[in-house]
Amino acid sequence: MESIEKLIANNRAWADALKARDPEFFAKRENDQAPHFLMIGCSDSRVPLEVMTGALPGDMFVHRNIGNQVYATDFNVLSVIQFAVQVLRVEHIIVCGHSNCGALRAAEQPAGMGILDHWIAGVRNTIRRHRGELDGCGSEDERLRRLSELNVLQQVGALSRTPTVLDAWSTGKRPLLHGWVYDIGTGHLDKVVEAIDGVERATALLPTG
């Protein structure tokens, strides 16, 4: 996929195919959205959140950043979470990490990448906290895979401590929090944690490293 024109041509073909199946497909979505899911994933080009889950327009509210991070100081992700929970009233929030993540690989290296070092500081903290377990992994692949799970658990934990989620839980069980890891080599999603619906389960998420 190298041509800008090809992207536009593909878009027209995609829209035409959906309209052929349902002539009102786009018109029905024009004025409103009511997604059931918020997905927070990595910006990696090999991890297309809607494509890999078969989501159609209107199914999924999406936020992506490098390493699928949920920082308590990031107005971007916090705004997305607030809008998704309070306005769209999503039932599920999924943090989706993935295998062979460049952000996690970078966090294993010494600092020296400018602003990216600030962005992945949380991953470096996760590595420090779980160094014993990670050092016990049998191979680099196994270590990176486990780090992707620990990173997802860390972000689900951070999600559970956001004011928006705590407010929502004070009046009910919605939203349910989930953590997944996507395997780039197979195209498969695996659950790391599912259906967290309160502070107690959320605080028990991470093993001590």
Binding residues for Zn ion, per CB under 5 A? Answer: 42, 44, 101, 103
Nearer to Zn ion, 151 or 164 (CB): 151
89 assigned to active site: no
46 assigned to active site: yes
Nearer to Zn ion, 98 or 130 (CB): 98
Catalytic choice (63, 92, 98, 143) = 98
Within 29-89, strands assigned E span 37-42, 60-65
How many C-beta atoms lie closer than 10 Å to residue 20's C-beta? 9
Nearer to Zn ion, 167 or 190 (CB): 190
Strand order in the sheet with 92-98: 60-65, 37-42, 92-98, 176-183, 188-196
In angstroms, what is the minimal distance from the CB of 141 to Zn ion?
15
92 assigned to active site: no
42 assigned to active site: yes
Are 117 and 111 in contact by the 8 Å Cβ rule? The answer is: yes
Alpha-carbon gap, residue 123 to 152, rounded angstroms: 10
In angstroms, what is the minimal distance from the CB of 46 to Zn ion?
9
Q: Provide the annotated active-site residues.
A: 42, 44, 46, 98, 101
